[in-house]
Chains A and B, each alone.
Chain A
Amino acid sequence: MAIKQISVFLENKPGTLNRMTAVLAEHEIGLRALSVAETKDFGIARMIVDDVLAATSVLKDADFIASLTPVLAFEIPDETGGLNKLLNVFTETKVNVEYMYSFLGGKKTSSAYMIFRVADTAAAESALIAKGLKPLRQEEMEEI
């Protein structure tokens, strides 16, 4: 099952990211992972949170543009070659990665987590599952 990433439009100027984190903090929403892509005048924050619905609604109430994007998440043992093994399967199944980011930690300190945005999430997911990979489910993600 693909998990839900929240994508948020941000102007590229001092204080905008902070205004977003303030809204999340105020509503006690935990960030699991965050990555920001930017151009000279705007950026897109992509994040995984513990309560997707609450986060989307409080951000919209605070006049942010926030949309939900399906992404694939994998747990990888924190050891040399871990990511390489995973990407070998991506290559084999011809899954193209549009962007990706990672985070370490949670309760199991021996694991790293990778988030992948691919073009056709559902097709990629079934191809990868057929090869024995186990993408994380939304509930698992929330418990990390």
Chain B
Amino acid sequence: MERYYQEALECASPEEMRKVQDEKLIAQVKHVWDNVPYYRKKMEEKGLTPDDIQSIDDLHKLPFLSKADLREAYPYGLVGVPLKDCVRIQSTSGTTGKRVVAFYTKEDIDLWEDCCARAITAAGGTNEDVCQVSYGYGLFTGGPGLNGGSHKVGCLTVPTSSGNTDRQIMFIMDLQATILCCTPSYAAYLGERMKEMGYGPDDIPLKAGIFGAEAWSEEMRHDIEKNLGIKAYDIYGLTELSGPGVSFECSEQKGMHVNEDHFIPEIIDPETEEVLPVGEQGELVFTALDKKAFPLLRYRTRDICRLSREKCSCGRTLIRMAKPMGRSDDMLIIRGVNVFPSQIETVLLNHGYGANYQILVGRENNTDTFEVKVEMTPEMFTDNLGEVSARQKELSDGLKSMLGIKAKVTLVAPKTIERSEGKAVRVIDTRKI
């Protein structure tokens, strides 16, 4: 029996959903026009007034917001309510430039937690469950979001936050935790650590995991599921829109249902900015329908993915989005194939290497050359040359199966790949075509 947290909305008919979205969009555009001069100016530049938006069919007329706008309007320029009505901020790590600081009213937090509660319920969570939240608590949205969702579902919530792996494992085993929320790479690490400690999947009380906030592959999902003896559910979100719970996976594990009564997704061509039909791949754009403190309209996520209206056997009618391939501005085309650094990173982590790597793309004899340099780690090193070479080959095979093209893998000494203060320089492309 499939359970829903808010069945009427999660399983609404297309007509019902459209009605909800139309009403909310009209009200939200008016709210933004009245309270966010930064966006009002953008609308005026296009000759728009709130009267031009009569339904979601008019959404495409509205101007976009981008990360650059967030930077420009930092910190208060996009806030839509008086600060006395804001009760919280959350913030990103700032790895891609300036930190994003997002604001919430009490109501905004309530709706965000509803979204997370839907995700936990879709993963099978009920008030009988013990839900361990091993996402970081603090500025990062992962901990607070899932913590709130877990409360709403009525799970016994174990707020371990991230880190201190042995203590995490102690709580999982002692309190018989049944649901784990954390990043997929941490779940993989916990799985390996528990295996080393002699816990098999049958000894581990967990039954489900809700993992997000970074890219992960299907292979990684299988490993986590096997080691921990759970079903692993993906969850998606971004601080700009609230945090985790913008979309979530159901037991079908075929894409994530977007909470489209709160967030309308669109797919656009990142170059021409034209809206693409459902099913085509492009950049994901979201319009927040309910958020009052930080009401972003047509926010360009830079995530590349596709949407699907196909009927889902879980009963939810919420539109589904595929796992994002990566960020549009990070995509490389090598020998005609789209390659995202996040995919490479996933393979490296899956194979026990760290995230210190560099991608070198060049051109020789009219063919692209593609090399991945990765730093050796003490864990991957042995005195046996054959074994180190075999691991290098496994990594190379892993990259081939993820990307579809062959990469030369070079193992380099620790700390030889340059660290930078902001976003790491991952890609060196010397092609001149």
Q: Which residues of A contact B (CB under 8 A)?
A: 5, 7, 9-11, 16, 37-39, 41-42, 44, 46, 63-65, 67, 69, 98, 117
Contacts and interface: CB of A to CB of B under 8 A. Distances in A.
A69 B381 CA distance: 11
Most chain B CB within a 10 A radius of its CB, from A41, A64, A69 = A41
Contact of B411 (A38, A42, A46, A98): A42
B376 A41 contact: no
A11 B415 contact: no
Contact of B381 (A11, A37, A65): A65
A117 B377 CA distance: 22
Contacts of A5: 383
**List of 10 A-B pairs having minimum Cβ-Cβ separation, nearest first:** A7-B383, A69-B383, A37-B385, A63-B415, A65-B381, A9-B376, A63-B414, A42-B411, A11-B413, A9-B381
A32 to B, nearest CB: 16
Given A41-B411, A63-B414, A7 B377 contact: no
B384 interface: yes
B410 interface: yes
A7 B415 contact: no
Contact of B378 (A10, A16, A44, A65): A65
Contact of B413 (A39, A65, A98): A65
Given A39-B389, A65-B378, A67-B378, A117 B415 contact: no
17 contacts: A7-B381, A9-B388, A10-B413, A11-B411, A11-B412, A11-B416, A38-B385, A39-B385, A42-B411, A44-B388, A63-B414, A64-B414, A65-B381, A67-B378, A67-B381, A98-B384, A117-B383
A5 B383 CA distance: 9
B382 interface: yes
For chain B, give the interface size range: 10 to 19
The secondary-structure label for the interface of chain B is: loop
A39 B390 CA distance: 12
Contact of B383 (A10, A41, A46, A63): A46
Given A9-B376, A44-B388, A64 B383 contact: no
Most chain B CB within a 10 A radius of its CB, from A5, A7, A64, A65 = A65
A7 B413 contact: no
Given A7-B383, A39-B389, A64 B378 contact: no
A5 to B, nearest CB: 7
Nearest to B411: A42
B388 to A, nearest CB: 7
Given A9-B413, A16-B413, A41-B410, A67 B382 contact: yes
A38 B381 CA distance: 14
Contacts of A7: 381-383
Nearest to A37: B385
Contacts of B414: 63-65
B381 to A, nearest CB: 5
Contacts of A16: 413
A12 to B, nearest CB: 10
A22 B388 CA distance: 25
Contact of A63 (B381, B382, B413): B413
A1 to B, nearest CB: 19
Interface in B405-433: 410-416
Contact of A44 (B377, B385, B412, B415): B385
Contacts of A39: 385, 389
A7 to B, nearest CB: 3
Contacts of B412: 11
Contacts of B376: 9, 42, 65
Contacts of B415: 63
Contacts of B383: 5, 7, 44, 46, 67, 69, 117
Contacts of B378: 65, 67
Given A11-B412, A42-B411, A65 B377 contact: yes
Interface in B343-390: 376-378, 381-385, 388-389
A104 to B, nearest CB: 23
Given A69-B383, A117-B383, A64 B413 contact: yes
Contacts of A41: 410-411
Interface string B287-329: 0000000000000000000000000000000000000000000
Contacts of B389: 39
A98 B382 CA distance: 13
A64 B384 CA distance: 17
Given A67-B381, A117-B383, 8 more contacts: A42-B388, A44-B385, A46-B383, A63-B413, A65-B378, A67-B382, A67-B383, A98-B384
